[in-house]
Amino acid sequence: MKRIISSQAIVALFVMLLATTALASTPYDVGFTWNRYDDWKPGTADGSSVGNPMTDSAGKPVWSGEYINNVPAGSGLGSATPWYKLPTSGMLVWEGYWGGGTWAKGYDTPPTTSRVGLAHVSTDESYNGNHYANVPLLRWKNPSAERLTVSLTPGGPGFCGVFGIYMPTGSTADLMIGWTDASDGDSVHLLYSTTILKTAAANVQQSIVLPELAINSLVLNPGDNIIFSVRSITRTTGFNWASANFYDDMNITVVPEPATLSLLALGGLAMMRRRRARR
């Protein structure tokens, strides 16, 4: 007896095959995770940007430490021209003597990006000049030549805001995460932001619990990136390294594309209907 296969079943099979192929075609499989703390690598020589960007576990250059010079006053989150939309001024270089090693604008010159987080030094009259106007920016550079869908979630308690000693009680700072759209010239779109407040005394370092981060499905095309930054609203003076910090321990994880999940569901539904019709 000849078996008749309906066009609906053929379509369902084709859709499922197409979806499976879409998932398998990317060099970064579903479940692949980037975490800057885990991917951290020191530089090769003081004053050199070799090793920046740092590579991921697949060997691709991903984590780019940068800085923005001469950020004008009034460039906070709520302003018409927030600091993170300004063009970056350069790449951080390795500074092996600062805190056991960090990426910095220069020798003893902030801003910095250490293994644990980004630091914006808020002093405007300090060693090696005015640091308040120079702000750190960390860029996750999309390493895939194909579209990726990712989630952004905390990696653990290391995802927090931190005010260092010398920051006075009542100090505030802005933290942000955004993505850049390569299709229109790298316009920046805010994904997550918050303003933190120091309630502890100036001689105490204070860690601030941040609002929940749960970005479950962010579609990134080739050339799209994710950026992170922190900027102290409070400006301080004195011969010290008063700073506001963004400890960015978070996971960027490849997840199935929403469209792919829909196709799989439709394909499965079509096959179920076909089976029921045979009963």
Least confident piece of the model among 16-30, 46-60, 248-262: 16-30
Is residue 35 one of the residues assigned to a domain?
no
Is residue 7 one of the residues assigned to a domain?
no
H or E stretch including 119?
Answer: strand 118-121
Residue 193: pLDDT above 70? yes
What is the domain count for the chain? Answer: 1
Is residue 34 one of the residues assigned to a domain?
no
Task: Compare 261 and 110 and report the one with higher pLDDT.
Answer: 110
Q: Is 156 left (phi over 0), alpha (psi -120 to 50) or beta?
A: left
Q: What is the mean pLDDT of residues 245-258?
A: 96
Query: pLDDT band for position 240 (50/70/90)?
Result: confident
Q: What is the mean pLDDT of residues 14-32?
A: 58
Contact 124, 236 (CB under 8 A): yes
**Helix 7-24 vs helix 258-278: angle between axes, to the nearest 10 degrees?**
150
Q: Model confidence over 79-88: pLDDT tens digits?
A: 999 999 999 9
Is residue 32 one of the residues assigned to a domain?
no
Structure tokens at 211: 């609002």
Task: Compare 86 and 11 and report the one with higher pLDDT.
Answer: 86
Contact 239, 277 (CB under 8 A): no
Q: Model confidence over 33-53: pLDDT tens digits?
A: 999 999 999 999 999 999 999
Structure tokens at 193: 């932001």
Contact 30, 256 (CB under 8 A): yes
Residue 237: pLDDT above 70? yes
Q: Give residue 183's domain range.
A: 42-263
Structure tokens at 135: 């702000």
Residue 1: pLDDT above 80? no
Residue 3 is predicted with a pLDDT of 38
Is residue 14 one of the residues assigned to a domain?
no
Burial of 33 by CB count in 10 Å (0-12 exposed, 13-18 middle, 19+ buried)? Answer: middle
Contact 153, 250 (CB under 8 A): yes
Is residue 116 one of the residues assigned to a domain?
yes
